[in-house]
């Protein structure tokens, strides 16, 4: 990229950061370096790569791009969001304690309470909208505060700046799972978080065709420890997967604009519907943290949930009747998805105080023509 005074904008970085034409042939698109090893120039002397678990140029391009999009100094790519979360959990040791939101992604909760719990790491889950509860949950041994915002499936918005402050006062790291917002809508590092985590499977990949994860940060020591874990544990993306995520990232800005427009329109339409009792979308003025969302996020994205007055059976019936919205788990792709959290993504918390309302329906609003989406929902609600 030509040097200039002003930092390039988000859309430019998405397409060019880490993606200069390739040196040997001038290929405009970063090649898929489908190789497991790299020939050495002499013993102990190489061209920057030795073995592809440790590093691969396609992955380097992706990491450079993701760092630029989060405005961080570095990024590390993983084979899934959970592999990235696992690397962060591996920063801890037996006796350490974690505080996390009480409605974090189910896989995150499972990783801490079913895997790392056995290794002597305790976890407390609290409603992170209540800062006093977070302060109270902190122990002398708390080393990690895990924040996910907006939350899933209720779209609560948490104050990253305030929560990072509480974490730091207790000498704990503040990690933000930024998957729901994507780096286009929200940059946790700018609000004081130490690490931003992504399941790149979702908005960054954006086309429901790849599983991946990433961690972005500023502190070089954290980079060194996490890069060590990335290589030592080995949860790295293959070159094709890294390439797919990078290709998705190029259009993140335009996709998020449309996700947000469609999300807002669908949320406003649902809010007026007589069979709907409640809509959870941070872009609605009635959302309890709408002002915080406006401060913290660029716009409000494509994720929303709503409750049907007539409960779980009606929610399930509706979810099976849509024709454009596919009945599926996951989120963040170009295509619209519908699901019933209690019966699908959040089945494991049924019967606990963390269970979502029975009649709750979650939408991942895609980038199709919005009138078609609303018509599809109207027919399915009946
Ligand atoms: C999907 C998801 C994850 C896990 O990512 P995978 O790529 O499925 O491993 C973590 N956090 C959130 C918020 C997610 O939606």
CA–centroid distance, 201 to ligand 1, in Å, is 7
The two structure tokens encoding residue 17: 């950061």
- Ligand 1 contacts (CB < 6 A) are 80-82, 105, 107-108, 148, 152, 177, 179-180, 199, 201-202, 211, 213
Measured by CA distance, the residue closest to atom 5 of ligand 1 is 81
CA distance 296 to 283: 12
Q: Which of 74, 39, 71 is nearest to 60 (CA)?
A: 74
Overall pTM surpassing 0.85 (yes/no): yes
Return the percentage of the chain with pLDDT > 70, whole number.
99
Residue 164 pLDDT grade (very low, low, confident, very high; cuts 50, 70, 90): very high
The count of other CB atoms within 10 Å of the CB of residue 316 is: 19
Confidence of residue 352 (pLDDT cuts 50, 70, 90): confident
Q: How many alpha carbons lie under 13 Å from residue 46 in its C-beta half-sphere? A: 11
Residue ranges and CATH numbers for the domains of the chain are: 10-249 (3.40.640.10), 252-381 (3.90.1150.10)
For the cut 60, the answer to whether the pLDDT of residue 245 exceeds it is yes
The yes-or-no answer on residue 323 being catalytic is: no
What gap in Å lies between CA 314 and CA 308, rounded to an integer?
7
Q: Would you give the DSSP letter of residue 149?
A: S
311 near 320, Cβ under 8 Å? no
* C-alpha span between 193 and 175 (Å, rounded): 6
Annotated active-site residue 294? The verdict is no
Secondary structure (3-state) at 35: coil
Q: Give the three-state DSSP class for 127.
A: coil
pLDDT exceeds 70 at position 336: yes
> Which whole number is the average pLDDT over 206-224?
98
pLDDT in tens, 130-150: 999 999 999 999 999 999 999
As given in the structure block, the two tokens for residue 142 are 């708390």
What's phi and psi for 112, nearest 5 deg?
-80, -45
Helix (H, G, I), strand (E, B) or coil at 258: helix
């Amino acid at each position: 990229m030509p040097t200039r005074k002003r930092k390039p904008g988000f859309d430019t970085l998405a397409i060019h950061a880490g993606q200069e034409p390739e040196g040997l042939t001038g290929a405009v698109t970063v090649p898929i370096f489908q190789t497991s090893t790299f020939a050495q120039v002499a013993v102990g002397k190489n061209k920057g790569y030795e073995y592809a678990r440790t590093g691969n140029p396609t992955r380097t391009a992706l990491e450079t791009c993701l760092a630029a999009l989060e405005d961080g100094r570095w990024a590390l790519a993983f084979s899934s969001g959970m592999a990235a979360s696992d690397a962060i959990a591996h920063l801890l040791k037996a006796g350490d304690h974690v505080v996390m939101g009480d409605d974090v992604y189910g896989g995150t909760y499972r990783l801490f309470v079913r895997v790392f719990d056995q290794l002597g790491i305790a976890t407390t889950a609290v409603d992170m909208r209540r800062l006093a509860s977070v302060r109270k949950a902190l122990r002398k041994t708390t080393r990690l505060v895990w924040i996910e915002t907006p939350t899933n499936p209720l779209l609560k918005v948490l104050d990253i700046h305030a929560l990072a402050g509480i974490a730091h006062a207790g000498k704990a790291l503040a990690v933000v799972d930024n998957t729901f917002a994507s780096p286009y809508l929200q940059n946790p590092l700018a609000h004081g978080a130490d690490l931003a985590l992504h399941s790149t499977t979702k908005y960054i990949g954006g086309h429901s065709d790849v599983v991946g994860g990433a961690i972005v940060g500023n502190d070089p020591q954290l980079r060194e420890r996490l890069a060590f874990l990335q290589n030592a544990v080995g949860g790295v993306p293959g070159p094709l997967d890294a390439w797919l995520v990078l290709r998705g990232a190029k259009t993140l800005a335009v996709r998020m604009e449309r996700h947000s427009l469609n999300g807002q329109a669908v949320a406003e339409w649902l809010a007026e519907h007589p069979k709907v009792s409640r809509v959870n979308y941070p872009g609605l003025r009635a959302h309890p943290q709408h002002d915080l969302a406006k401060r913290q996020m660029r716009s409000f994205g494509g994720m929303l949930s709503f409750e049907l007055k007539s409960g779980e059976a009606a929610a399930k019936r509706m979810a099976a009747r849509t024709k454009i919205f596919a009945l599926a788990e996951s989120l963040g792709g170009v295509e619209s998805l519908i699901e019933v959290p209690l019966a699908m993504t959040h089945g494991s918390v049924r019967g606990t105080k963390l269970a979502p309302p029975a009649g709750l329906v979650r939408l991942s609003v895609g980038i199709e023509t919005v009138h078609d989406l609303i018509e599809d929902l109207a027919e399915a609600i009946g």
